Structure 1
Amino acid sequence: MEFQNIYTEKRVGSDKIPTGARSGFQRDFDRLIFSSAFRRLQNKTQVFPLPGTAFVHNRLTHSLEVASVGRSLGKMIGERISMDYKSGNDDAYEFYRYELANVIAAACLAHDIGNPAFGHSGEKAISSYFIENAHTQIEGQELIGFFNEKEWKDLTSFEGNANAVRVLTHSFKGRFQGGFGLTYTTIASILKYPCESTAVLKKYKHRKKYGFFQTEKETVEKIATELGMIPETNDPIVYKRHPFVYLVEAADDICYSIIDMEDAHRLGILPVETVRDAFIELINAIKPKGGEADKTLRYFKDIKDTNEAIAFVRARVINLLANAAVDVFYDNKEAILSGTFNDTLIDNIEGRTGALKTIQDISLHKIYGHDTVIQVEIAGYNVMSGLLQLFIPALLKEKPSHKEEKVLKLFPYQFTEFKDTSSKYEKVMNALDYLSGMTDEYATEIYRRLQGISIPRHG
């Protein structure tokens, strides 16, 4: 791959190049931020339950912050790359100077858009339903028997990253062709795992999970071909990552590893000293010279509001990590372009290993293991499993019961492709479309109603 050949304004669902003052990449950002799928992220858990007295991050605020960091990463690395084309390629110079930041920001907005309600617990619940019911009989046939090997692998390892590609590119019933109609470039930038589910191989970063369902395979192949992504294997399909993925991934890594600590302090789970010391240790590790940590501590002591003081140190940490990530990208650009960079930018920041491990250990034991987090995970697991128990048999049966016919009537129009296809896999994907689009609150409420725990009322 070469930097001048890895971007295009061609869109999914249309090969027309937009005209006007806004570039195609700016349009991507605007389409995402005004979409209902993006708005629904405000009621999807990031880590903590959403309390009424202390505002913490949900998927929407996380995505906005990742987009802010991503825009900065795109701007900084774009300016460096643009200088290589200043005298020889006007188009490449303009793209990297002015548009790469828009691409990365848009991709960052979209990176969590496929996450189901209850986040990773929701993913696990969907996967576990199929694993645990593999041999359940439905009209005389085992559940597993309705699907081929690749389809079954998709269902038993449901992946939010793959679902994001589906949400953004699938032509849902009654909706526009090509889904959101985003540029190939933005879609490629969220393909963190550019392989299908049967190709997962955890020792490789780009195959640690999978990035698209069987239903979107042709779309991904078209995007990869257009952008010159390097094919690794044809069956199963595996590509090397698109270079812009590393910037989106870095923005996400920077935000979630740092901001969860800030939220834990706001909720009283972690004392101010623990968070402050972990952040200062990281500053010292990234920039040991120049007295950066000492200067940050002096400012910290001057801020009497502890929430604001922690926010100040957090901002310094994010700024240092972003600048260091840009250096890693540029220093390794040849390996990134050739597909041989099997790592993340954050993992290659010099000196940061021990300090980030401290933060990761605190997060694992003090934050992610907190009882309220575990309670939400268990509740989400039960809600998602319970809804699947209602939806899946109803979709797969040739002769659904009276109750199951009523269940199918609940599906919104855009998720009723099951009426027009004989593919059992595509029918089930409609259930996952409906379920994964739900917010935590809506999934809980619909579960309570369908289980008879609460009775809906008109008006």
Structure 2
Amino acid sequence: MLAPYASNPAASRGRLHPESPSAHRDAFQRDRDRIIHSTAFRRLKHKTQVFVSPDGDHFRTRLTHSLEVAQIGRAVARTLTLNEDLTEALCLAHDLGHPPFGHVGEDVLAERMAPWGGFDHNGHTIRMLTTIEARYADFDGLNLSWETLEGLAKHNGPVTSPGWALAGYNAVHDLDLATHAGPEAQLAALADDIAYDNHDLDDGLRAGLFSLGEVAAAVPLVAECLDAVQAQHPGAPDDRLAAELVRFQIGRMADDLIEETSRRLAALAPGDVDAVRGAGAPVVGFSEAMQAAERDLKRFLYANMYFHARNLAMRDPAAAVTGALFDMLHGDPALLPPDWRARLPGTEPQRARHIADFIAGMTDRYALKTFEALGGRIDFPPGAII
């Protein structure tokens, strides 16, 4: 049973290209399945989450992160009686537009693409799903439902100044960018926060960037959760305590999200999903106390993980590879693979955007392999995390 304010596949606003309904799956289930079977989704297994093309089998990649986001999103959606399938589809697809090397790669592509409209991973997610994926004979993209595309476009809130990629699609399939998204998309954004806050913490501990004691001393939420798991498991070794801490803290944040969202929904009493979109503020969210605690944890991770010297040592080489690839391929498109070369537009900005599409689809390892094949050389700094 769905809540009245949940997204209902039977009332979907449809697809850009009409299709016959499936006999056994609703619109959102089909969207989720199309995302999982896409080429872009498979490539996430070798794309940076925090560490560049990690050698360690236990560190997260974009793929494992997306799966973990989906698990958290589904669990919370079930409790709130939101649509689990739409929530899962949004969680699985939310990072599809990331280029190789994470935010470093995105920054470089944005700089190189500045003369032709720029680059942003959220807009590229929409472009990937509506234009670049080519798995159907009758149309480009995956032809996802309006609700899935709307949620991906607006999961972080209304979009008042869309980039060229999102604006281009919105011109042919209006996603109502000025409003908030439905509750499932709002939930997907918070599930993403819960996942990467805790799993990046886990990876940082595993990599030895900081200790349990150091993070507990700096972040009150972690100290509180660590005290709780130590009381439950006295004498447990640090690696077991770290796993218990991450699990306990995910539960604490999810419980807070459920309780605060339930409170907001009770106050708003939305009669349908459009009432959530038109509420003027997010309906899904943390309490004020948890928002502050989550910001504390993010500050710690930025200072002690994302900007740790061992991670920073990879930023310049990764940026250099991304920038050089764009410069070489844009300067001489004959270097493109035959299928990409055959589809190269003859004029700008489409020409540069085609090059950026090719690079943005690369995995970390394919970017490095292509760079080396084109004559480049990259030496990872001693002690860098790869």
Same fold (TM > 0.5): yes
Distance 1:374 1:32, change over 3 A: same
- 1:280 to partner: Cα distance: 6.7
- 1:122 to partner: Cα distance: 0.7
- 1:322 to partner: Cα distance: 1.5
- 1:56 to partner: Cα distance: 0.8
Query: Greater relative contact order: 1 or 2 (C-alpha under 8 angstroms, separation 6 or more)?
Result: 2
* Amino acid corresponding to residue 234 of structure 2 in structure 1: K
Among 75, 79, 91, the residue aligned to 1:72? 75
Among 253, 258, 265, the residue aligned to 2:205? 265
Aligned equivalents of 1:423 and 1:214: distance in 2? 20
Among 30, 35, 40, the residue aligned to 2:38? 35
Identity of aligned residues (%): 25
Aligned equivalents of 2:261 and 2:80: distance in 1? 8
Among 66, 80, 84, the residue aligned to 1:101? 84
Q: Is the 8 A contact 1:9 1:185 kept in 2?
A: yes
Distance 1:111 1:272, change over 3 A: same
SS of equivalent to 1:447: helix
Among 169, 180, 184, the residue aligned to 1:216? 169
Q: Is the 8 A contact 1:280 1:293 kept in 2?
A: no
Q: Which residue of 1 aligns with 2:145?
A: 183
Q: Which residue of 2 aligns with 1:359?
A: 297
- 1:127 to partner: Cα distance: 1.5
Q: Which residue of 1 aligns with 2:196?
A: 256
Among 418, 423, 426, the residue aligned to 2:344? 418
Among 255, 259, 266, the residue aligned to 1:323? 255
The aligned runs of 1:335-374 (5 Å cut-off) are: 336-341=276-281, 345-346=285-286, 349-374=287-312
Distance 1:10 1:307, change over 3 A: farther
Unaligned runs of 5+ in 1: 79-95, 132-143, 145-151, 195-204, 232-237, 285-291, 394-403, 455-459
Using the size of structure 2 for normalisation, the TM-score is: 0.83
Among 406, 410, 416, the residue aligned to 2:334? 406
Q: Is the 8 A contact 1:59 1:112 kept in 2?
A: yes
Q: Which has the larger radius of gyration?
A: 1
Distance 1:450 1:12, change over 3 A: farther
Of 365-374 and 108-117, more deviation after overlay is shown by 365-374
Among 407, 427, 448, the residue aligned to 2:372? 448
- 1:6 to partner: Cα distance: 6.8
Answering whether residue 120 of structure 2 is matched by residue 192 of structure 1, we say: no
Using the size of structure 1 for normalisation, the TM-score is: 0.71
Aligned equivalents of 1:283 and 1:210: distance in 2? 40
Q: Which residue of 1 aligns with 2:121?
A: 160
Unaligned runs of 5+ in 2: 269-274, 379-386
Aligned equivalents of 2:39 and 2:133: distance in 1? 14
Could you report, residue by residue, the CA deviation over 1:199-258 in whole angstroms, capped at 9, with x for unpaired residues? xxxxxx53488474343233441xx3xxxx4x6xxxxxx444333321010000111112
Matched pairs, number? 364
Distance 1:126 1:343, change over 3 A: farther
Aligned equivalents of 1:417 and 1:217: distance in 2? 23
RMSD, aligned α-carbons: 3.0
SS of equivalent to 1:382: helix
Aligned equivalents of 1:246 and 1:162: distance in 2? 17
- 1:412 to partner: Cα distance: 3.2
Q: Which residue of 2 aligns with 1:243?
A: 183
Aligned equivalents of 2:233 and 2:263: distance in 1? 33
